[in-house]
Amino acid sequence: MAVTMKSVTLSLAKAVSPRTPKFSLQSQIEQYVELPSTEKNERGENDSSIHKSKSRKRLDYLEPLPTNSKSIHLEVENVNKTPTHNKIKGNIQNLLINTPVKKYLVKNGLSSKKTSAAVLGKGSFGTVVKGLYKNTLVAVKVVKLKNFSTTISDINAKDLSHKNVVNILEINMKPEEKHAVIIMEYKEGTKQLQTLLETNIELDRKTKSRFIWDICSGLQYCHDHGILHLDIKPKNILVIENNQCKICDFGNSCAINDIGNYEFQGTAAYAAPELLKGMMPTTKCDIYSLGITIWQIEYRESPYSEWHTTESLIYNVVKHHIRPKHREANDIITELFKRCWDKNSACRPDFPEILQMLGDVR
């Protein structure tokens, strides 16, 4: 369901809306990220015996430099401190970020060649790899720009500084180039909340409440500083040591004073019905997404798994006010997510009220 919703929203709106040794990776890179392959074997069958992951794909990186360009070296830090003349399978490495590399990535992006840098995430937004910047471990996000006039939304978060929001260290982009390079803080062992919820690790009430509290705290800070996230979901929440949560990926965000130029490209299953109808975003849209996320933390299931198309999901959420299935329990968590996803945005609670309710279960 995590797809760009512009075309679907427009079509449905009419029906429902009122309106470390180091080594060099030169231009001819022959390294690979060890990711699942969908290539066929000798019998013409899909070979999945080596790669079991359902969500990861083979990634291609770094186009060779034009013949008339100066050669640069894309160095990779070998975390395991092992000799690199023969690359060890599964070796995790970090792309060394310096001025020449940043210029190269802004110009070429991560495209046709491969790099041995560890991939942290990939999607329609771009690719995130693990990097080393000024001797500090970082996440490096490379985004392909459609045009420079449509500035990447991640820039909305560049001045945010909060313990529950991922800190952006630097953004590199130029009007004449096709890519943006975003350097963000990263801690070893960081996991997506989505990944954690899909495991069999037991999460007690205190841990779940801590997750919710941190997300609310970070989101309230964003709103207080004039930023709507507009794509709150477990995949955009990182969990670091001590179960601390940090909000990340502001690629669908919007400045409150610039909502007139907003174009929804978020995730339908977590989007407020008024947003799906094409209305202007408000802070209550984030509260709605928070409600779906709280439900997912409680039930550890994907919302609306019974709907097989985005169109049917949007229609039922907007027209029939369908929400994720849940037990009618008499507890604060249930009351909280039900109030957050209320069809009437004015009835959704604000953060002081939410945090006061959570104070009873922390």
**Can you say which residues are annotated as belonging to the binding site?**
141
- Which 3 state secondary structure label does DSSP give 319? helix
Q: What token pair was written down for 292?
A: 């779906």
- Rounded CA separation 348/59 (Å): 41
- Which 3 state secondary structure label does DSSP give 339? helix
Q: Which of 47, 60, 159, 231 is catalytic?
A: 231
Instruction: Please say if 231 is a catalytic residue.
Output: yes
CA-only gyration radius of the chain, Å: 22
Q: What token pair was written down for 213?
A: 């509290």
Which CA distances in Å does 327 have to 177, 228, 335?
A: 52, 30, 11
- Which 3 state secondary structure label does DSSP give 254? strand
H helices then E strands: how many in the chain? 9, 13
Type of residue at 237 = I
Which CA distances in Å does 222 have to 151, 162, 289?
A: 19, 9, 14
- Rounded CA separation 6/210 (Å): 34
Query: Are the beta carbons of 198 and 205 closer than 8 angstroms?
Result: no
Neighbours of 189 (CB within 10 A): 8
Annotated binding site for ATP: 141
Q: What token pair was written down for 232?
A: 């709150």
Give the containing element (helix H, strand E) for 183.
strand 179-185
Catalytic residues: 231
